[in-house]
């Protein structure tokens, strides 16, 4: 679903004039793209982490059932012809028919393990058992980065944060079980696990300290799926791809573009390999406009790549608009959870003055109101409101709390 970025009353927009600076930068992933690099727009900080030493990418959120695989380095997840959990330790997994399950790139949580979810209570690999717990009911075949095939049973996700899975050879030998605590990684978006070495890698920056990750992954190119290398965006960020437009014009008209929160908007196809010259061509008149987690707006233009030799990618970035919340708002300490949310959303906030009428609403990224949550006088101090958003389409929304002539806005993701 495409989303149009708007300038709403809660935000004070300041367009930088005369002080904007064009910065040339690059990231290096190493030979064969052996690393993934997390990049923060505001500071230029680069966090380099190995891309070859993990098989599974877990989510720290206690409300996520998702598990991604390291497809860029040939980890593959398969549904087998018969894959129940009966006699896991003694039976041989039936691999007479294997169906590959793939990660997607609409959101981070469009992943292989939940790709066959039919909706609550069936999450693909597991079913909801009450009290927030998911219990696994299916065994999968998985090919690791080494090329070795194993079988894996995701046994349980608990609301406490504990997740448990069991891995074995296809015939049940060399079996081991592993329990990890997602709560231990609550400051990060994801953490990573290497099955053969039984190792956890806590390699990401903090959740909002990166906007882009440069990595190798599998994506659909035409009718097939191929290993590609490019940039994916962090959770819930809006970005516009501006094609066939002069770079200066794309920036000048930045608030008229169509913005999307799909994580592979930048992706890999800003470059193409020229078989005539055996070099990389960079798409002309292409730029990307995106906000960082501070709300500041940048223009990105990719200018070159060395390919797999050193895995280096070159780009320019320009900060040209800043966004800040109005000061002296009577609304304080706003919290929204879970976020992302599937059905019910809980909103906590503190109000300094109960004599001010307070309106709470959800808007789409075009600025259109999609749900009025409350319009009433509320109590001084902490307030809590629960609302059902199960009827909304998946995507990014803006939660706005208006008290008098002041407001605060939070980004909410509906899954």
Q: What is the pLDDT of residues 327-349, one digit of tens each?
A: 456 777 677 777 788 888 888 77
Contact assessment for residue 149 and residue 142, using Cβ atoms and an 8 Å cutoff? yes
Q: Which of 146, 175, 201 is the last residue of a domain?
A: 201
Look at the chain and report how many structural domains it folds into.
Answer: 3
Q: What CA dihedral angle connects 107, 241, 208 and 325, to 10 degrees?
A: -120
**Are 256 and 335 found together in one domain?**
no
The Cα-based distances of 155 to 10, 84, 125, 158, 195 in angstroms read 45, 12, 9, 10, 15
Structural domain span for residue 410:
331-414
**Are 15 and 71 found together in one domain?**
no
Helices (H), 217-267: 247-252
**Are 233 and 370 found together in one domain?**
no
Contact assessment for residue 255 and residue 367, using Cβ atoms and an 8 Å cutoff? no
Between residues 35 and 329, which one has the greater pLDDT?
35
CATH number of the domain enclosing 392: 2.60.40.1930
Residue 354's pLDDT band, with cuts at 50, 70 and 90, is low
Q: Which of 293, 325, 357 is the last residue of a domain?
A: 325
6 domain-assigned = no
pLDDT tens column, 261-312? 899 999 999 999 999 999 999 999 999 999 888 878 899 999 999 999 999 9
Q: Considering the entire predicted model, what is its pTM?
A: 0.77
CA neighbours closer than 13 Å in the CB half-sphere of residue 391: 5
51 domain-assigned = no
**Are 211 and 294 found together in one domain?**
yes
**Are 71 and 21 found together in one domain?**
no
Please tell me the predicted confidence (pLDDT) of residue 202.
97
**Are 38 and 164 found together in one domain?**
no
**Are 117 and 136 found together in one domain?**
yes
62 domain-assigned = yes
pLDDT tens column, 157-212? 999 999 999 999 999 999 999 999 999 999 999 999 999 999 999 999 999 999 99
Please tell me the predicted confidence (pLDDT) of residue 3.
34
**Are 180 and 221 found together in one domain?**
no
Closest CA to 219 of 233, 234, 229, 205: 229
**Are 346 and 381 found together in one domain?**
yes
335 domain-assigned = yes
Contact assessment for residue 38 and residue 349, using Cβ atoms and an 8 Å cutoff? no
Helices (H), 215-367: 247-252
């Amino acid at each position: 679903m495409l989303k149009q970025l708007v300038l709403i009353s809660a935000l004070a927009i300041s367009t930088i004039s005369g002080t904007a600076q064009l910065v040339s930068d690059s990231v290096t992933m190493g030979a064969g793209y052996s690393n993934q690099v997390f990049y923060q727009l505001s500071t230029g900080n680069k966090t380099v982490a190995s891309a070859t030493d993990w098989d599974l990418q877990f989510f720290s959120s206690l409300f996520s059932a998702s598990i991604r695989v390291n497809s860029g380095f040939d980890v593959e997840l398969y549904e087998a012809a018969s894959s129940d959990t009966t006699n896991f330790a003694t039976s041989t997994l039936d691999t007479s028919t294997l169906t590959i399950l793939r990660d997607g790139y609409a959101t981070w949580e469009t992943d292989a393990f939940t790709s066959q979810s039919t909706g609550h209570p069936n999450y693909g690999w597991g079913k909801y058992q009450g009290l927030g717990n998911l219990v696994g009911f299916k065994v999968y075949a998985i090919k690791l980065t080494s090329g070795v095939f194993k079988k894996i049973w995701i046994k349980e996700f608990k609301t406490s944060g504990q997740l448990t899975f069991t891995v074995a050879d296809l015939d049940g030998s060399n079996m081991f079980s592993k329990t990890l605590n997602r709560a231990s990684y609550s400051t990060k978006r994801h953490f990573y696990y290497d099955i053969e070495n039984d190792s956890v890698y806590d390699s990401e920056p903090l959740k909002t300290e990166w906007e882009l990750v440069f990595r190798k992954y599998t994506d659909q190119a035409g009718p097939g799926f191929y290993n590609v290398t490019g940039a994916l965006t962090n959770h819930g960020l809006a970005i516009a791809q501006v094609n066939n437009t002069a770079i200066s014009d794309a920036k000048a008209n930045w608030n008229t573009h169509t913005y999307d929160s799909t994580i592979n908007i930048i992706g890999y196809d800003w470059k193409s390999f020229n078989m005539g010259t055996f070099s990389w061509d960079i798409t002309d008149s292409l730029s990307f406009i995106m906000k960082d987690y501070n709300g500041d707006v940048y223009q990105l233009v990719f200018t070159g790549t060395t390919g797999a030799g050193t895995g280096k990618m070159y780009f320019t970035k320009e900060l040209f608009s800043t966004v800040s919340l109005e000061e002296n708002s009577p609304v304080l300490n706003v919290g929204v959870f879970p976020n992302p949310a599937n059905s019910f959303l809980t909103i906590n906030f503190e109000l300094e003055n109960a004599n001010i009428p307070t309106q709470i609403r959800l808007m789409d990224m075009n600025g259109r109101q999609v749900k009025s949550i409350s319009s009433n006088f509320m109590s001084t101090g902490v307030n809590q409101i629960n609302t059902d958003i199960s009827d909304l389409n998946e995507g990014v929304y803006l939660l706005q709390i208006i008290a008098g002539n002041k407001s605060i806005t939070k980004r909410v993701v509906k899954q």
